[in-house]
Amino acid sequence: MRRESTGKRTQSSRKGKYLLALLGIAAASCLSIIILVPDFASSLMIPKSGTGATQAAEKAIPAKPPREALDFQMDDFMHGWVSYTDGIMKTDDGGVSWYAAATSAVQMDQSSQTSKAIVENEDLKWIKGSLPSIQRIAAGAKELEVKKSQFLTENVGWALIAKEGQDSAPLWTTTDGGRSWKQQVTPELVKQMEMESLRLQSIAKEAEYYADSETARKAIQSEWTLMPETAARGDIVLVRHRSPGNVEWQGKTYELQPFASGYFTYLPIPMNTKAGSYPIGDKTLTIKEKKFETQYLQVTKQMESMKQDTKTIQADQKKIDLARSKSEPEFLFSSPFIQPIEGILTTPYGYTRYVNGKLDSSHMAIDLAAKTGTPIKATNDGIVALAESLYLTGNSIYIDHGMNLFSQYAHLSELKVKTGDHVKQGDIIGLVGTTGFSTGPHLHFTFWAHNMQANPNLFFNTKPFNWFQPAP
């Protein structure tokens, strides 16, 4: 039993040795393959350095040269193109992103079209300011030579750098007149360009109100502008300032209201203002002497007694003051004012009036006599602030023309509008009559600025912006 067991163990030991030997041979074979095959593959597939085959392969795959921008053009703040040796790239977002010209069509929004029209308008070139000419720009600690620059305004411009391959951001951009430049257009730069576009549009909007482009330029580029610079008692002056603030005048404070590219207020000239020179900002307002005629009226005792009903008169005055205390914060008109009717002038503006031999008041309006029922036209665009029957002035209308300027129509036989209505110049708003304190059919017409009456004759066939007469 022990011999058989010993024999079996001897046979198992021999088999184990054979298996180990076979495994060793297999491992050596694999190692030789790993070592030899790369050399073998290399000898078959890749020529040695310096051979003609290597040179041919290098010529077959040439190195790509840097892409060079040749020219560019910005049509407005958002749209433009850059040409390369191998094509054209365009942008619709101010240079944030660029695309191949053939892959998309440029969609220009209304704001961009307006800005482009302003930039290209020969009469409005002054709006752009003095356009810089750039030869070099500072980029950190170094300066870059400029191949081409373009400014749309004195603030916003672009530069193409010479000898510099530019793929993702081909242009450098400035929004501060060239004091600083950015190669990558950021959302902040886009916002500044949009603000510049709005600035152009606001100047162009205001320029339309003046008599011509040159007059607009002189008014808008001035620190202060008076329209007009010479006035008389009972007149009105439109003041423009470049910045917000107030104007102190005849013991009252008038706030400058923003409109378009400036800040405005009307200054009424009280009847007790003395002739002389008055400083308004860096300008001088000259008030000239003016005399007014005297008028004497005879009315019935019953009509004369109407003015004794102070309670009713005061109640009406509260309605009127409330209506004139709320005005749109913009000019609601753009065209010249017209005369509401073609009547006979019976009482001019400013007359000192005596009623039944007693001093009554200064007549701060014009009276135009006409047949009862004659249509009355709105002197200009505006909003009806009040349309109501009042004790002294009868059927009355007040139209707000914005910026605390109102026109008044009194003694009407019929009202054709109601409070809150929007009216256009020439709209029929009522009919001539003789209601209230009136001696016959006529239209009592005047203007009010900051609750003070102003001479209506200043407005007919013109407008306050046309009162500005720049020095030659």
pLDDT digits (tens, 9 = 90+) for 213-264: 999 999 999 999 999 999 999 999 999 999 999 999 999 999 999 999 999 9
400 has which bridge partners?
383, 406
Please write the tens of the pLDDT for every residue from 21-49. Answer: 444 444 444 434 343 344 433 433 344 44
pLDDT score at 297: 72
Q: Cα separation of 228 and 150, whole Å?
A: 39
pLDDT score at 256: 98
Most confident of 141-155, 357-371, 410-424: 410-424
Cα 330 to Cα 206, 263, 264, distances in angstroms: 11, 10, 9
pLDDT score at 47: 44
Mean pLDDT on 128-136: 90
Mean pLDDT on 96-122: 68
Mean pLDDT on 412-434: 98
- Using pLDDT thresholds of 50, 70 and 90, give the confidence band for residue 57: very low
pLDDT score at 223: 97
The answer to whether residues 246 and 255 touch, using CB atoms and an 8 Å cutoff, is: yes
Helix (H) or strand (E) holding 268: strand 262-268
pLDDT score at 66: 60
Select the more confidently predicted residue: 417 or 7.
417
Is the per-residue pLDDT at 169 higher than 60?
yes
pLDDT score at 296: 72
pLDDT score at 430: 98
133 burial (CB, 10 Å; 0-12 / 13-18 / 19+) is exposed
Helix, strand, or coil (residue 203): helix
Helix, strand, or coil (residue 434): coil
Name the least confident of 28-32, 66-70, 83-87. 28-32
Mean pLDDT on 123-133: 88
pLDDT score at 233: 93
What's the mean pLDDT when you consider all of the chain? Answer: 84
| Ramachandran angles phi, psi of 355, nearest 5° | -115, 120
Q: Cα separation of 181 and 136, whole Å?
A: 11
Cα 102 to Cα 70, 137, 426, distances in angstroms: 18, 32, 53
pLDDT score at 114: 67
Residue found under tokens 């009127």: 320
Select the more confidently predicted residue: 440 or 112.
440
User: Would you give the distance in Å from CA 64 to the centre of its chain?
Assistant: 47
Please write the tens of the pLDDT for every residue from 174-225. Answer: 999 999 999 899 999 999 999 999 999 999 999 999 999 999 999 999 999 9
Q: Cα separation of 76 and 198, whole Å?
A: 13
Q: Cα separation of 264 and 255, whole Å?
A: 8
pLDDT score at 319: 95
Name the least confident of 45-59, 109-123, 362-376, 421-435. 45-59
pLDDT score at 368: 97
Select the more confidently predicted residue: 44 or 417.
417
Peptide bond into 228 cis (omega under 30): yes
Is the per-residue pLDDT at 294 higher than 60?
yes
Cα 472 to Cα 166, 218, 279, distances in angstroms: 50, 10, 21
pLDDT score at 15: 47
- Using pLDDT thresholds of 50, 70 and 90, give the confidence band for residue 359: low
Single pTM value for the model: 0.78
Is the per-residue pLDDT at 3 higher than 50?
no
Helix, strand, or coil (residue 349): coil
pLDDT score at 220: 96
pLDDT score at 13: 47
Mean pLDDT on 101-110: 58
Most confident of 211-225, 298-312, 345-359: 211-225
| Ramachandran angles phi, psi of 181, nearest 5° | -130, 150
- Using pLDDT thresholds of 50, 70 and 90, give the confidence band for residue 406: very high
